[in-house]
Amino acid sequence: MMAAELNGSKNCAVDSVLNLYCEKGMQEDERKQLNKMQQFFVNIYNKHTSYGFLLFVIVIHLYLIVQRCIELQDQNAAVIIAKLAGQLLHFDAVLVLLLILRRIITWLRTIGLDCILPLERNVHIHKMVGWTIIAFSFIHAVAHLANYGVISLNEKLYYSTALMETHRNAGLVHGTVVPTGFALFGILMIMGTFAHQKIRKSGRFELFYWTHFLYVPFFILLLIHARNAWKWLVVPLLLYAFEVINRTISIYFGRGKTDITLINTLPNDVVHLRIRRPDDFEYQCGDWLFINIPQVAKYEWHAFTISSEPEALDYLTLHIRVVGGWTGRLKTLCKTHKRVLKYEECLILQRESRLSVLDRTIQEILTTHKVDIPVRLDGPYAGSTTSTWNYEHCIYVAGGIGVTPFASLLQSIMRQFKDSMTKCANCSHSNCSRIPASMGKLKHVEFLWVNRHLLNFKWFLQLLLDLEEEKKAAGDVMENFFNIRLYQTGKTDVNERPNLIRKCDSVNCADPWKSLVTCDCKLKHIKHLLNFGRPDWDKVFTQVKDRNLGRVCVFYCGPTSMGVALKEKCKKFGFSFVKELS
């Protein structure tokens, strides 16, 4: 009996332990479920502008579908589908035009409407709407062709006769419905094919650029093809015409005319341009522009992010990666202006031109050429990083040459801290007692720059060094505000790493200008920032979350593959994610 009682007590103990584990398991499952729900709602909140706009577009589409179905309820299915798709095409044509009004969109962002509209994603939405136009055009065409088949059977006509004669009086110009329809569909196929990312990123950007000008005959033919199309398109076309005229006047007769004052090549095929800043050329950190260099290509315009800070009043800079085509010709132009400078000339050039932190490495100065190459600028236009001041904690992640928008931001932040420094009343020491009010809500910045090659850090090496110096000079406030991490991922430089750093250590760097002539780079000064291998995003984001400073936003510019991984991690941790689109 005692044995039975003992066994019973053991069973009770086992049952209680099992129940405890079950309860813990249930708690963990509930916690995981809660985390998923939190991630879902955080994701909705972070993308509320995009989801709100998408909902608005879907509602409009549904309204047009219902309206058209009621109007055409007596018609056959082919006619209903064809005219329904045509009505949706009218709305999407309006939308695709409004999404490329760059100056109006930039103005809307400056007045704060980006908090209710997804203005930073206008290019992405423009692409999506473009593909929906192609899809609805296909449905519209197939449904009409099917309807002509029905008519030819019912009326006992040849299909060609039914095709050409049935709706002869339709359209703005009689007898043009069918030929303009085929022409419109052909134009869309050409534009859609060459707008694909594989074409744009293959070094044949010109194919996309020139075929996209087919939008002009597209809208002309659309007005002729559909009798009521003008009612939809008159306002968007007038707005677009106004913007084109305004841009043309600015480019050719206003602030768009300027010239390149310095041009040089950086390691691993990057060209650095220093451009004289026009008097009324006002821009913000992360803004971008279109540039036309007639000596490279007379009619081509290409978009690049401005890498200098807005506080630099007499110049602006661009860093351009050479990938062939137009950029290859730009590198050739740089070589034609090449002039080897002596060390003394470098120092004179540095003093006379008051070079920025981006230009002050002797390695760059040795291949810097004072030139006057005429260029035209179209812009500036608001970039995705302009909302950085609306968040308490920002993570800037750059992949390769994607560092350019963050270079502008970091320089601007450094300048703001420098301007806010005050002298101590008892001594001459200056420091910063608090975060500048111009930073808005921003309390902390994490800057992560990922490069395949070690030498790529030389693109903005002097900026990194100046940031480190400024952190020390400004005191604890800036030390706590900034955190810089550099990652080198490429396998080819494994043997170079110790050699480069050891070579720098062996040189007497009392004169930083002269030392750069004799050693490869100043990498020894940023050794404490360098990490070899890919970032551990879980570890980085956990550290960020533990700070608990408020809303966190990850701003990313770089390769798509890394962007996809980052986006998933942001969903996991409930961070906002903003990608600079290309």
Q: What is the pTM of this model?
A: 0.72
Is residue 214 within 8 A of residue 190, CB to CB? The reply is yes
Residue indicated by tokens 């406030």: 477
Percentage of residues in the chain with pLDDT exceeding 70?
A: 75
Q: Quote the CA–CA distance of 257 and 374 in Å, as a whole number.
A: 8
Residues 163-186: tens digit of each pLDDT: 776 666 677 777 788 889 899 999
Residues 188-228: tens digit of each pLDDT: 999 999 988 888 777 677 788 889 999 999 999 999 988 88
70 contact partners, CB below 8 Å, separation of at least 6: none
Is residue 268 within 8 A of residue 393, CB to CB? The reply is no
Question: What was the pLDDT predicted at 428?
Answer: 61
Q: Quote the CA–CA distance of 418 and 479 in Å, as a whole number.
A: 13
Residues 459-471: tens digit of each pLDDT: 877 777 777 777 6
Banded model confidence at residue 473, pLDDT cuts 50, 70, 90: low
Q: Of the segments 32-41, 150-159, 175-184, 364-373, which one has the largest average pLDDT value?
A: 175-184
Residues 313-367: tens digit of each pLDDT: 888 889 888 887 788 888 888 877 654 434 444 444 444 444 444 344 444 444 4
Token duo for residue 531: 């990490």
Q: Which CATH number, 3.40.50.300, 3.40.720.10, 3.40.50.1820, 3.40.50.80, labels domain 384-421+433-579? A: 3.40.50.80
CATH of domain 257-381: 2.40.30.10
Question: What was the pLDDT predicted at 184?
Answer: 93
Question: What was the pLDDT predicted at 444?
Answer: 84
CA angle 280, 281, 284 (to 5 degrees): 130
Q: What is the mean pLDDT of the chain?
A: 77
Residues paired with residue 264 on neighbouring β-strands, in sequence order? 272
Count of helix runs (H) and strand runs (E) in the chain:
21, 14
Question: What was the pLDDT predicted at 474?
Answer: 63
Is residue 411 within 8 A of residue 320, CB to CB? The reply is no
Residues 37-56: tens digit of each pLDDT: 666 666 676 677 888 899 99
Banded model confidence at residue 284, pLDDT cuts 50, 70, 90: confident
Question: What was the pLDDT predicted at 91?
Answer: 94
Question: What was the pLDDT predicted at 135?
Answer: 94
